[in-house]
Amino acid sequence: MPKQSAAASSILRWLAGATMVAPATLIVVVLFVYPFFSSLIGSFQDDKHNFTSENYTHVIGTYYGDIVFTLVICLVSLVLVLALASLLAGWLRLKADPFIEFLFKIPLFVPFVVVGHAMRVFLAPHGTLNSLLASTGLFNPDSLPSVAFSTSGLIVALVWKNIGLTLLLVMGAFRGINSSYLEAARNTGAGSFRLIKDMMIPMSWGTISVAGILTFTSMIGNFSIPAMLGDGGGSQMLMIDLYYELVYRHDAGAANAIGVVSYIASMGAAIYYVKKVAKS
């Protein structure tokens, strides 16, 4: 009886645990696992569902430059987001300023499509930014450069949109650092920048890495901002290419191949993220 009771108790615990994780598992399966394998299979099929590798040949041959362009844009934007978020989070940790903190959390609540439109208006050739500069009388409004519809405009918009979430994660890690460590460093002559660079960032590197991974995957899969701020005649980000293949060329195989390439680009970051979560 004791053995049967222990076995029954173990089964009940297993069922309880399975019941608790079932909703989250179902969401992952429906929203990620199934679409991924569906795209993977579709990327090796032609219009008649015959096996082929021509989709990848077409994607690599046609969009190789766009793949590199997307990775460069995302990596540059990621470095800027992490640097700004780390410095700002460190400053807020040392000198709390609720108003500044609130300002940088605003992007969290703004949809990507709204960010794209707002930046398009703000950074346009005769947009808000150039109008403000021209109003000072120091600049010729016709000679001011346009930041919108350029690589710089894409980077500015991606950085602004992603700074809120990254700041929130990094700031939580910085605030978890024992104040006695910071006070000890101050007593030895460390200034604010040294405290951030040599103490806060190294002690919170795990959280910063996870924040970077989430930010990178968000950037590489973004469509609205590149659609509104990208250069129509130059290099495009991968989601624009995917849209073009699916909507204009009606080539689902090539679109699936671009999706798989995007998955692969994010896979290294995702694997690191999973390992980090598992360890914690």
pLDDT in the model for residue 114: 86
pLDDT in the model for residue 230: 76
Mean pLDDT calculated for residue range 55-68? 92
pLDDT in the model for residue 277: 59
Q: Decide if 134 contacts 55 (C-beta within 8 A).
A: no
Q: How many residues does the chain have?
A: 280
Q: Any idea what DSSP says for residue 45? A: B
pLDDT in the model for residue 232: 66
Domains of the chain: 62-279 (1.10.3720.10)
Task: Give 126 or 170, the one with higher predicted confidence.
Answer: 170
Task: Kindly give the interhelix angle for 252-279 and 205-220, rounded to the nearest 10 degrees.
Answer: 170
DSSP-assigned beta bridge partners for residue 45: 51
Mean pLDDT calculated for residue range 111-124? 82
Q: Which residues contact 43 (CB under 8 A, 6 or more apart)?
A: 55, 56, 253, 256, 257, 259, 260
Task: Give 141 or 100, the one with higher predicted confidence.
Answer: 100
pLDDT in the model for residue 167: 92
pLDDT in the model for residue 88: 92
Mean pLDDT calculated for residue range 182-194? 85
Global model pTM greater than 0.75: yes
For 142-176, b where at least 16 C-beta lie within 10 A, e where not — what string? Answer: eebeebbbbbebbbbbbbbbbbbbbbbbbbebbee
Tell me how crowded residue 256 is: count the other CB atoms within 10 A of its CB.
Answer: 24
Instruction: Indicate the average pLDDT of the chain.
Output: 84
pLDDT in the model for residue 28: 77
Distances (CA, A) of 151 to 78, 128, 156, 276: 14, 19, 9, 32
pLDDT in the model for residue 1: 46
Among 161-170, 224-233, 255-264, the least confident range = 224-233
Mean pLDDT calculated for residue range 186-205? 87
Mean pLDDT calculated for residue range 39-60? 88
pLDDT in the model for residue 3: 56
pLDDT in the model for residue 76: 95
